Amino acid sequence: VLVSNFITGSIIKFFMNQFEKVPLIKAIYNPLKDLMSLFGSGSSNTAKKVVLVDLDKVGIRTIGLVMREEFDDLPVGTFADDMIAVYIPMSYMLGGFTTLVPRSSVVEVDIPVEKAIKLAITGWIKADKNAL
């Protein structure tokens, strides 16, 4: 309620802008803010698909979120046309990593993104029969 109020919202926005100017805090806060907005609704950067990624050399599959399927804004030839960016979260949100993989090495899974993240964060410990 306070943030949506014009006066208090302006004050909070002012302090957040000052907060983001501190070099060390800026280096930590901005990526965390981006990560949190990544999973929020309404963001253009929101993951839209859950996939299983084949890691052929290791012989395992892992769950991931398709983050980007087009690289039109990058110089031509930077990535092959069949590459997509897949974010693979680690258990207990200790981090994650983005891989660029051929589209042919992923299989789309019919799980909502929120459920997939919840399962990944808990290491699939809390997986129930309604999870899939």
pLDDT tens-digit map of 70-87: 888 888 877 788 899 998
The answer, as to whether pTM is greater than 0.75, is: no
Of the candidates 26, 39, 31, 28, the one whose C-alpha atom is nearest the C-alpha of residue 89 is 39
3-class DSSP assignment, residue 112: coil
Q: What is the pLDDT of residues 11-46, one digit of tens each?
A: 878 888 887 788 877 777 776 676 666 655 555 555
Task: Give per-residue pLDDT as tens, 96-126.
Answer: 888 899 988 899 999 888 788 778 777 777 6
Rounded Cα–Cα distance for residues 39 and 45 (Å): 8
Query: What CA–CA distance (Å, rounded) separates 55 from 97?
Result: 14
